[in-house]
Every structure is written in C-alpha cells, then in structure tokens.
Amino acid sequence: MHDALIVGGDGQIGKALMAHLVSNGRDAICTTRKWPPVEALLRLKTVPYDLRWPTYLPEAEVTFFVTGINGFKPCEADPVEARRINVILLLQTATLVSYLGGRLVYLSSSAAETHPDTVYGQCKLEAEAGFLRLGAAIYRFGPVAFPGRDVYANDTYSPMNLPMLCGILANLLDKWDPGLHCLYNRDWVAEHGEGITPRGGEIAGVI
C-alpha cells in the first residue's frame, strides 16, 4: 500500500503535492488523464484514471482528491456535467476508496463559502457534505499563487502560496485531522508567521 495517492496529478496543485511528497521520502503515486506510454507510467509513478471512465486505482493510506471541472465559467457553461463530475462521479470514487480502507482528503474551494449561489460553489458544498459523511479531511481555501499566475485577496480568503499548501496537506500523513478546515489568511499567517504579496490581476480559477 502506498503512503499517498493523488487523484488529479495533471494540475498545478497535484503536480506540486506529488513533488513535495516524493522529495520528503514518501511513497506517493498520482493519476493522469493523459494516458502516457507504459514506460512513463512506471518511471513517473503515474496511473491513468478519469472520473468519467473509472478504472483501477492503487491503494494508499491517504488519497488526495484534486480533480474535477474547476472554475466558475466552465461550471456555469454546463451545470449538469459539472455536477455529474464534481459531485456524483467524484463521490462514487471516494466511496470506493473509503470502502477499501483509505483515508480521504478533499481539496475544496473558498467558493463554497463566498459564492454558494454559483454552480461551482454549489458543487463544492455538495461534495464537501459527501466527503464529511465519509470521514474525510476537507480543506477550503482561496486562490493559490504560483509562478505565472496573478491572484488577489478578497474579504474572506487571501491567496496562499503553493509550497505552503503542499506542506499543510502533506502533514496529514503524520497527523490525521478529519473534518472541514477553512484556511483563512489570518489562520496560516498566525501559524506560520509569513504571507505572500499578491501581484494583482484576476483569478483564473480557484483550485
């Protein structure tokens, strides 16, 4: 059994979390929707997986769910498909992982609190409720800053940097902490004594 499985290894957060875990000596594996050759799968510790066509998932002590249709506009463009992927299919996979004995971590979004009237926010709220029933650790946070992406602060959630988020998530492997966790700016600044300087611009998505 692996230490960690990341469902959604193609995205910025999934890639960074995978790199963080491996660099700290963890036996981690992630999923991809790009279907690379077998040699690449073995070398990169990556398995092909898509919520729409579920296949085999390796077992892990902790499974991080960092996947789905992200952002307000894509969800508003097709509300039915957004809910099918971001809630129904996601929770089906999570339920299976939980049944096999793995612990679950769901990366939600500040949209669940700040924009519950949107399709994206509604999907996040509904998924959170399902993951809570499964005993998961849920992290709700604002935009994540990384090179090449401009973000800005809002009244409730301020941007946090990618390495800090990865550190918080990786800590769950040593100190399991289920339930809903809201990573407000004031919380992680108080805990870590540091922050980031937003560079302005528009949010390209949430997670």
Query: What residues does each domain of the chain span?
Result: 2-192
Instruction: Give the span between the Cα atoms of 183 and 41, in whole angstroms.
Output: 33
2-192 under CATH 2.120.10.10, yes or no: no
Task: Name which of 104-108, 124-128, 167-171, 194-198 the model is least confident about.
Answer: 194-198
Find the mean pLDDT for residues 97-113. Answer: 92
Over residues 33-53, the pLDDT tens digits come to 877 656 555 566 888 888 888
Query: What size, in residues, is the chain?
Result: 207
Of 147, 164, 149, nearest in space to 70 by CA: 149
* pLDDT, the chain, mean: 83
Count of helices and strands (H, E) across the chain: 9, 9
Looking at residue 36, what is its pLDDT? Answer: 62
34 in Cβ contact with 40 (< 8 Å): no
pLDDT in tens, 180-205: 998 876 554 455 444 433 332 222 33
What 8-state DSSP symbol labels residue 124?
A: H
What are the tens digits of pLDDT across the range 14-25?
999 999 999 999
Residue with tokens 């998505």: 205
Q: What is the pTM of this model?
A: 0.84
